[in-house]
Amino acid sequence: MKTSESEYRVEMTGISKCFGVVKVLENVNIKVKPGEIHALLGENGAGKSTLIKILSGVHPKDSGKIVLNGKEINPKNPHEGQVLGISVVYQELSLVNDLSVAENIYLHKLGSRKFWMNWKKITQDAQELIDSLGFKIDASAKVRSLSIVQKQVVEIAKALSEDTKVLVLDEPTTVFDPTDIKKLFENLFKLKEKGISIIYISHHLDEIFKIADSVTVLRDGVDTGSMAVSDTNKDGVIRLMIGRELKDLFPVRDVKIGEVPILEVKNLTAKNTLVHDVSFSVRPGEVLGIAGLGGSGRTETAKLIFGADKKKSGTLILNGKEIKTKSPVDAAGHQIGFVSEDRKEEGVFLPLSIRRNISVTNFDSISSKLGFINVDNEYKKVLGLIEKLNIKTPNSEINVKNLSGGNQQKVALAKWLSIDSKVIFIDEPTRGVDVGAKIEIYKLINEVAKKGVGVVVISSDMPEIMGISDRILVMHKGTFYGELQKDQFSEENILRYSIGEPLKQ
């Protein structure tokens, strides 16, 4: 198409990719000039990470073309990508905990060329590299001993240790505080001046408008266009991201909430986590939101009640009777459900079929006393749920790993929705889920509440938690700091309580 002199450093054109039966990218285009910071936006599950993984050689593309410096490239693995000058800092950290900072930074060089490594020089080089970024980290320290922010900095240093032409940052600032973010941005501007192309993935639109030159928005695997940042604004970008107005996302709450609490939690304190003195109640039909910063103890609270973590003290009262939940088995026995935020590790059985996934919590209703499963009943139940939850699949025997994030989440939900739960804890109900599935999941939560179930939703997604909850409790440092009624819902109020500040009068 072009000769060797192109105005773009990297061009990805017509990129498509399927995982099994699920299409994750369809004809996506992105072009980045040298010295440009290009923001890649889109909701969770829109295909951003997949696009980056194709660029860096983690996944092969099904079709399309990648051109770097005017030459078509086809990196087959991350190492090839790196050699070509494409470095990626992933959201999930990929450092080796038991090696030093310097060893981690130069890990990709181990085993190449030389037999002996000059550790002194490597440590020195690493130290210089980190110092140049403006952070204080000892290059000879073990990575295990670093804070999560420092680990992220090491990741960035690692990406820069090669002759990098294209640097990709996948949500680098989620763990950073404002001063660290400022430092990071200064570094990015320096790199930009050196002519490095930067692809920057973030959910924080403020950041994008502060540092990016241009932006590409992905929605459900399709790019909805690229533009200069100066030609658009926040509202415009949001509309491109979700494809509709925000208020259409959430169902109308018209559930009659019961008077008597279905579950009361009194002075719950954990043995091994920071959760302490947690007290709250949830009523039948109510959707109770739990907000708070990451690490404030929200997930730990749910796991504590569910019996997955050990309790030190406190009481649980279900329907007026005190119960003990020493393990998830007890909790499930008392008809308390828990949908984990970590869908792949704790929620679903990826290698098993949809049917086998859903049946796991359901055996009481579909098997005889001796444990023999009535297969007709099983199919009836599972197919009914697939239809009700609108899980997009050709049949019930598809393995869950071949479904999209949204459909996987529906399977995880189906496990608990199909039994008569009294209380369900749902941790991050729509993380990594596309917009269409989001709306369906919200509707589902609404319907479950309608049946008189007490639903507790933990979420970091502000619009989400405000959109679906009747009441929000905000956690701060392991306990509830404040409670917000519907008329008090605002991002600012949630944030204030999250950081331990009182509301503005």
Partner 1 sequence: MALTLKQQLSSPGGILKFLVKYNTIFIFIVLVIFSALISDVFLTSVNLSNLLKQVSGLGIISIGMLIVILTGGIDLSVGSMVALLAVIFALLVNMVILPVAILLTIIIGFSLGSVSGYLVAYQKMAPFVATLALMTIARGLGFIYSKGSPITFKTPGGEFMSNFANNSTLGIPNIAIVFFIIVIMTMVMLRYNVFGRLIIAIGSNEEASRLSGIKVNKYKFLVYAISGALAATAAIIVASRTNLGSPNMGMAWELDAIAAVVIGGASLNGGRGTAINTLMGVLILGLIGNILNLLNVPSYPQQVVKGVIIIFAVLLQRFESK
- Both tokens assigned to 17: 């990719």
Stretch that binds partner 1, among 36-44, 115-123, 173-181, 360-368 (CB under 8 A): 360-368
- Both tokens assigned to 496: 């204030």
What is the nearest approach in angstroms of partner 1 to the Cβ of residue 43?
Answer: 25
Question: Mask 168-207, x = binds partner 1 (CB under 8 A)?
Answer: ----------------------------------------
List 356, 388, 392, 443, residue binding partner 1 (CB under 8 A): 356
Smaller CB separation from partner 1, 10 or 411: 411
Which strands, in side-by-side order, build the sheet including 321-323? 278-282, 263-270, 311-318, 321-323
Please tell me the count of residues contacting partner 1 according to CB under 8 A: 33
Is residue 360 involved in binding partner 1 (CB under 8 A)?
Answer: yes
Is residue 347 involved in binding partner 1 (CB under 8 A)?
Answer: yes
Is residue 363 involved in binding partner 1 (CB under 8 A)?
Answer: yes
Is residue 119 involved in binding partner 1 (CB under 8 A)?
Answer: no
List 111, 178, 320, 351, residue binding partner 1 (CB under 8 A): 351
Residues in 433-472 at the binding interface with partner 1, rule: CB under 8 A: none
Smaller CB separation from partner 1, 82 or 340: 340
Question: Mask 12-41, x = binds partner 1 (CB under 8 A)?
Answer: --------x---------------------
d(CA 239, CA 82): 35
Is residue 106 involved in binding partner 1 (CB under 8 A)?
Answer: no
Is residue 380 involved in binding partner 1 (CB under 8 A)?
Answer: no
Smaller CB separation from partner 1, 17 or 283: 17
Longest dimension (CA), the chain: 76
Tell me the CA distances in angstroms from 459 to 52, 426, 473, one per residue in order. 26, 9, 11
Is residue 338 involved in binding partner 1 (CB under 8 A)?
Answer: yes
Is residue 328 involved in binding partner 1 (CB under 8 A)?
Answer: yes
What is the nearest approach in angstroms of partner 1 to the Cβ of residue 390?
Answer: 22
What is the nearest approach in angstroms of partner 1 to the Cβ of residue 220?
Answer: 22
The DSSP-derived string for 34-101 is TT-EEEEEE-TTSSHHHHHHHHHTSS--SEEEEEETTEEE---SHHHHHHTTEEEE-SS----TTSBH
Smaller CB separation from partner 1, 69 or 402: 402
Amino acid (one-letter) located at 182: K
Query: Across the strands, what pairs with 408?
Result: none
- Both tokens assigned to 80: 């090839």
Contact indicator for 184, 176 with CB cutoff of 8 Å:
yes
Which strands, in side-by-side order, build the sheet including 71-73? 22-32, 10-19, 63-68, 71-73
Residues in 276-315 at the binding interface with partner 1, rule: CB under 8 A: 306, 308
Is residue 79 involved in binding partner 1 (CB under 8 A)?
Answer: no
Nearest in space to 159 (alpha carbons), one of 56, 292, 50: 56
DSSP 15: E
Q: How many CA atoms lie within 13 A of 115 on its CB side?
A: 0
What is the nearest approach in angstroms of partner 1 to the Cβ of residue 467?
Answer: 26
Q: How many CA atoms lie within 13 A of 108 on its CB side?
A: 19
Which strands, in side-by-side order, build the sheet including 37-42? 86-89, 166-170, 197-201, 37-42, 214-219, 222-228
List 340, 409, 459, 469, residue binding partner 1 (CB under 8 A): 340
DSSP 503: P
Amino acid (one-letter) located at 106: Y
Residues that bind partner 1 (CB under 8 A): 20, 60, 306, 308, 328-329, 331-333, 338, 340, 345-352, 356, 359-361, 363, 367, 370-373, 375, 399, 402, 415
